[in-house]
């Protein structure tokens, strides 16, 4: 299957919302089983301020659907979300 990148930027001042929703997000990641790699983006203070998620799914619509059902998205955490196909070359 192809790989898809989700690049998500949190809304300003949303760190507490991220922390409150984190366990549900991590459960969703574990339950769905399609996340290849993921982790938070950090701001200048070293605090979580976004997400980079690599998904192994059949098409971009499935990746967008996965993203829309992520508890982070449902909670309204993200200011912006970019979903794009990604080609692994190194690693």
pTM (predicted TM-score): 0.93
Mean pLDDT of all residues in the chain? 97
Going by pLDDT thresholds of 50, 70 and 90, the confidence category of residue 78 is: very high
* pLDDT of 61 above 90: yes
HEC profile of 9-59: EECCCCHHHHHHHHHHHHHHHHHHCCEEEEEEEECCCCCEEEEEEEEECCC
Considering the domain delimited by 3-86, tell me its CATH architecture: 2-Layer Sandwich (3.30)
């Amino acid at each position: 299957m192809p790989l898809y990148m989700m690049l998500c930027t949190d809304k300003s001042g949303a760190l507490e919302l991220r922390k409150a929703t984190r366990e549900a997000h991590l459960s969703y990641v574990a339950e769905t089983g399609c996340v290849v790699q993921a982790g938070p983006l950090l701001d200048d203070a070293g605090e979580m301020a976004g997400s980079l998620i690599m998904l192994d799914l059949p098409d971009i619509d499935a990746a967008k659907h996965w993203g829309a059902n992520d508890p982070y998205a449902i909670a309204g955490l993200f200011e912006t979300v970019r979903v794009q196909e990604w080609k692994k070359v190194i690693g």
